């Protein structure tokens, strides 16, 4: 069986973070493993408290996975401090991790900032070079490129700007403006993925879910463009299923096809 590792924070309400990643791996028939970077108190209404896991514990979790069940792909989610970023980067290099997906998590769906501002540069300098693809949403892409993204033209310019310091695939998700589609960019090549709009406010964990679905596809040996396409189909189905839980932005239905 193909295997995938998520390196991420938790969500006790089950819609985002490590819990969403593991559900997605299972739904896509990949054996999922996890290394926890932070314990969050959050639900569909927002984030209340974040407590980072110690560096020795982060490193020990990664050692346990890589030394025993080497993952076919790795997804990196919430990493909120420089020491954690450095620890993860060191272990990825040590073990020669492959098919690394970096979900550039900076802000939650509810608007809570999830990464220290001084850690953002460490993310770009230490983790991005080790990643095969990054998956920023529009606000995150704006933070990376330094200017506003309001349409497809500026979306492409943002990818070109980010690519000046990064050679992997860049998937900029366009769901934050009307008519926006997702754009995959690498080495000047652009592929647009049309987004089928699903009328729902239950979008908690969509970014985590999409990036982990891409990870599952890569773990199964799919080429990048097909892995993204399959992941897009999966997240659309999870949104369209109509799961309605919680008092805020509810979770998607990760198990809609099971």
Catalytic residue list: 173, 203, 205-208
φ and ψ at residue 13, rounded to 5 degrees = -85, -5
DSSP string over 25-78: HHHTT-EEEEEEEEEEEEETTEEEEEEEPPHHHHHHHHHHHHHHS--SEEEE--
Sheet holding 100-102, edge to edge: 46-52, 31-43, 3-9, 73-76, 100-102, 133-134, 169-172, 182-186, 189-193
List for the chain the helix, strand, coil content (%; round to 5).
40, 20, 40
Q: Which of 195, 196, 199 is nearest to 173 (CA)?
A: 195
Residue 222: count of CB within 10 angstroms of its CB: 18
The angle at the Cα of 234, spanning 228 to 236, to the nearest 5 degrees, equals 105
Distances from the Cα of 192 to the Cα of 6, 15, 152, 155, 182, angstroms: 26, 27, 10, 11, 6
- Taking a C-beta distance cutoff of 8 angstroms, is the pair 37, 79 a contact? yes
- Rg of the Cα trace of the chain? 17
């Amino acid at each position: 069986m193909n295997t995938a590792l998520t390196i991420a924070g938790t969500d006790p309400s089950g819609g985002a973070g490590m819990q969403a990643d593991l559900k997605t791996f299972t739904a896509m028939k990949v054996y999922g493993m996890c290394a926890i970077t932070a314990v969050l108190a959050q639900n569909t209404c927002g984030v209340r408290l974040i407590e980072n896991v110690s560096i020795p514990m982060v490193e020990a979790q990664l050692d346990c996975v890589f030394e025993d069940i080497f993952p076919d792909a790795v997804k990196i989610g919430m990493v909120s401090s420089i020491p954690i970023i450095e620890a993860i980067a060191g272990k990825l290099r040590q073990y020669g991790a492959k098919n690394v997906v970096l979900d550039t998590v900076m802000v939650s769906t509810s608007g809570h900032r999830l990464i220290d501002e001084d850690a953002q540069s460490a993310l770009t300098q230490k983790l991005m070079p080790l990643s095969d693809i990054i998956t920023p949403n529009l606000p995150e892409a704006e933070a990376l490129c330094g200017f506003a993204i309001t349409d497809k033209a500026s979306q492409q310019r943002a990818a070109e700007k980010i690519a000046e310091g990064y050679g992997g695939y860049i998937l900029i998700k366009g769901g934050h403006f009307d008519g926006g589609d997702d754009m995959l960019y690498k080495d000047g090549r652009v592929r647009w993925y049309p987004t089928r709009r699903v009328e729902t406010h239950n979008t908690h964990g969509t970014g985590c879910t999409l990036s982990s679905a891409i990870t599952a596809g890569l773990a199964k040996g799919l080429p990048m463009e097909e892995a993204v396409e399959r992941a897009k189909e999966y997240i659309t189905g999870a949104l369209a299923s109509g799961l309605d839980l919680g008092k805020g932005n509810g979770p998607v239905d990760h198990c809609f096809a099971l």
